[in-house]
Amino acid sequence: MKVHQIHDFHLKDESDFVQTQQSLKHKIDLSPSITPDSINTCAGVDLAYWEQDGEPYGVCSIIVIDADTKEVIEKVHSMGKISVPYVAGFLAFRELPLIIEAAKKLETEPDVFLFDGNGYLHYNHMGVATHAAFFLGKPTIGIAKTYLKIKDCDFVMPENEVGAYTDIIIDGEVYGRGLRTRRDVKPIFLSCGNHIDLESSYQITMSLINQESRLPIPVRLADLETHILRTFYQKNHV
């Protein structure tokens, strides 16, 4: 798969992070471009981390499934030392090098990528799902397992019904949704990544839910795969 080199990752400090986010923020496009009916393939993206000899390492898994049959048609991963330190609000800079490396290995070009992480639901609207879309050139969706509290704004818990949601509105703007994908299970936090609108993101996400998890199938599979890969690399000290 072709990946666009939007910027490098030789950034010096937080001011470089902010400047990069601001330069891309104004190019975010949340207009509808795809619907569940138009999708043939979709990909889940997740990362896992560990330390080895005092150095941080990570692995990224991308799993592509058939949108109709839900069968896995391709999976790739990348592993390496993490060179960007963790800074709140700038996680994408830490994760993107491995995401890009894994995406380049894809023979399939997924119609949409779903990330284990935030998109527009972010301090600067630049969560990993949004940021990654500029490199991937594809619609992206953010699926977070925990709520990122912004400007001291809490979310309203959705009703205990499958598909129930409450929009997360901050300063009059919709950042995302608290979404109940299964009864009696904690909600997930859905937000647009890029090149997609919130309603399409919602419909696509719900079309990929089964009884095994509150997460969409490709995200859950990528999450499971990263744990397997992390254990393998830890044991083999690669």
* pLDDT by residue, tens only, the chain of 238 residues: 999 999 988 776 788 899 999 999 999 999 999 988 999 999 999 999 999 988 999 999 999 999 999 999 999 999 999 988 888 899 999 999 999 999 999 999 999 999 999 999 999 999 999 999 999 999 999 999 999 999 999 999 999 999 999 999 999 999 999 999 999 999 999 999 999 999 999 999 999 999 999 999 999 999 999 999 999 999 986 6
Amino acid at 56: P
pTM of the shown model: 0.96
**So what's the pLDDT on residue 141?**
98
Q: Which residues are annotated as a binding site for Mg(2+)?
A: 46, 116
**So what's the pLDDT on residue 13?**
77
Q: Which residues are annotated as a binding site?
A: 46, 116
DSSP E strands, 101-159 = 112-116, 140-144
* The residue to which tokens 């949340």 are assigned: 30
- In the sheet that holds 55-66, the strands lie side by side as 72-81, 55-66, 41-52, 112-116, 140-144, 188-194, 173-179, 165-170
Cα–Cα distances in Å, from 225 out to 47, 64, 229?
9, 12, 6
Among residues 104, 91, 145, which one has the least CA distance to residue 4? 104
Between the two ends of the chain, the Cα-to-Cα distance in Å is 26
Burial of 22 (0-12, 13-18, 19+ CB in 10 A): exposed
For the chain, list the domains and their CATH numbers: 29-236 (3.30.2170.10)
Among residues 193, 190, 151, which one has the least CA distance to residue 172? 151
